[in-house]
């Protein structure tokens, strides 16, 4: 094999590695965009306000809560399900409790099943939009305001949906710097008599 052929092969191999790296880097934001646009994988939409149209047809919305195995909180929905008219704005509450002796920050991921309904499930306000910090022993109620878009009844795959399940999973995240700083200052002022 000549030197030119070896150089060409090496250059092609480097090119393949660069292209594959670029595709891997772009795949996560592309997949996130794709899921938000299509509702694929149960990703929900975000709305500024409720629907202008409310149908007589109802849908049951069930609520589910879970924790990452390393998350020390207790987390549960305050209601198991609610029946509501399609297009009607609903509000549900979840409860979180930090039984530890330290502040714990968490972020919730979410999805909707069946996946076909994800495109039509709209959140107006949700605790999942921001990181939550619970102090030691703190218990909070966290609301989610939502509606099911009436356009769901015209979708050939989603129109027969009678039950939608909204699921959240909380993961522990790093404490915000200002919270961690306040916590360490508080700990340094404690004296033992």
DSSP string, 13-25: HHHHHHHHHHHHH
The pTM assigned to this predicted structure is 0.68
For the cut 60, the answer to whether the pLDDT of residue 164 exceeds it is yes
Each residue of 41-78: pLDDT tens digit? 445 566 667 778 889 999 999 999 999 999 999 999 99
Task: Provide the pLDDT for residue 189.
Answer: 45
Each residue of 17-39: pLDDT tens digit? 776 666 555 544 444 444 444 44
Each residue of 108-153: pLDDT tens digit? 999 899 988 888 999 999 998 899 999 999 999 999 999 999 999 9
Per-residue pLDDT, averaged over 176-181, amounts to 63
Task: Provide the pLDDT for residue 1.
Answer: 66
Please name which of 7, 20, 170 lies closest in space to residue 97, comparing C-alpha atoms: 170
How far from chain centre, in Å, is Cα 177? 23
Question: Residue 118: CB partners within 8 Å, gap ≥ 6?
Answer: 39, 40, 41, 42, 43, 44, 45, 111, 112
Each residue of 85-109: pLDDT tens digit? 999 999 999 999 999 999 999 999 9
Phi and psi at residue 180, in whole multiples of 5°?
-65, -40
Contact criterion met (CB below 8 Å) for 109 and 168: yes
Higher local confidence (pLDDT), 181 or 86: 86
Task: Provide the pLDDT for residue 66.
Answer: 95
DSSP string, 51-66: -S---S-EEEEEEEEE
């Amino acid at each position: 094999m000549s030197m030119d052929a070896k150089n060409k092969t090496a250059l092609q191999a480097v090119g393949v590695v660069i292209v594959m790296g670029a595709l891997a880097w772009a795949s996560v934001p592309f997949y996130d965009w794709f899921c938000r646009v299509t509702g694929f994988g149960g990703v929900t939409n975000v709305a500024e306000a409720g629907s202008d149209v409310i149908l007589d047809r109802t849908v049951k919305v069930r609520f589910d809560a879970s924790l990452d195995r390393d998350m020390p909180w207790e987390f549960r929905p305050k209601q198991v399900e609610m029946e509501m008219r399609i297009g009607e704005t609903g509000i549900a509450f979840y409860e979180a409790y930090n039984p530890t002796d330290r502040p714990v920050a968490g972020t919730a991921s979410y999805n909707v099943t069946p996946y076909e309904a994800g495109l039509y499930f709209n959140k107006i306000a949700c605790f999942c939009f921001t990181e939550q910090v619970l102090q030691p022993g703190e218990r909070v109620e966290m609301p989610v305001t939502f509606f099911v878009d009436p356009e769901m009844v015209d979708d050939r795959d989603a129109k027969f949906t009678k039950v939608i399940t909204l699921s959240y999973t909380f993961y522990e995240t790093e404490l915000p710097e200002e919270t961690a700083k306040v916590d360490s200052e508080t700990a340094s002022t404690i004296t033992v008599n």
